Chain A
Amino acid sequence: GAGVSQSPSNKVTEKGKDVELRCDPISGHTALYWYRQSLGQGLEFLIYFQGNSAPDKSGLPSDRFSAERTGGSVSTLTIQRTQQEDSAVYLCASSPGTASGNTIYFGEGSWLTVV
């Protein structure tokens, strides 16, 4: 597709349930990022994938959060045993590669509400 595609666009889940959020990056982009945006807060880095390199997981807030990227393309962010504080917009982004200054392009986000 022309841009970064995320699904679902909206998800309401009960506290304690697991959720999976999907991201399909721009075709040809080798780098993929997940960010979280809570109400009134800035974008918070979660995880970064680049090709076959080990991902940068330094932003994952707890071991309930995990992400994988299959075949160097589609990525899934999984949140286990969801808590109310996990309610936020989860934004996926991609960029062409690791050269300095590579622009990151964002999807529309997956809005997660934990009730």
Chain B
Amino acid sequence: EDQVTQSPEALRLQEGESSSLNCSYTVSGLRGLFWYRQDPGKGPEFLFTLYSAGEEKEKERLKATLTKKESFLHITAPKPEDSATYLCAVRGQGGSEKLVFGKGTKLTVNP
């Protein structure tokens, strides 16, 4: 069974204080690892898809990286508007197109 574990559950940063969020996964043949951002009362917003170990993708202050066992979402010099819950999900080769999600990391960036 595909599983995703995200850590930490919550993270508080000061504006400008860089850090990383972790997503550990077990999957039978990775067909994509996905990062989403979710604001309170909203649906998840797509950020990145990574397919193979060593791949990296960037968007503004965010950079996602992937190894064979985990993914990191690096946040460089965060701003208060980066505050949100960040969700990680995987799609495996088990014959289903569904994504299996972790419980998320709630990020708060204080000014």
Contacts and interface: CB of A to CB of B under 8 A. Distances in A.
B96 A105 contact: no
A78 to B, nearest CB: 20
Contacts, number: 61
Chain A: interface residue count, which band? 20 to 34
A93 B44 CA distance: 10
Contact of B31 (A56, A91, A101, A106): A101
Interface residues of B, number: 25
Contacts of A101: 31-32, 49, 51, 91
A109 interface: yes
Nearest to B93: A100
B97 A105 contact: no
Interface of A: 4, 31, 33, 35, 40-43, 45, 48, 50, 56, 58-59, 91, 93, 95, 98, 100-109
23 contacts: A40-B103, A42-B101, A42-B104, A43-B44, A43-B87, A43-B101, A45-B99, A59-B98, A91-B43, A93-B43, A100-B31, A100-B32, A101-B32, A101-B49, A101-B51, A103-B34, A103-B46, A104-B34, A104-B99, A106-B46, A107-B43, A108-B43, A109-B42
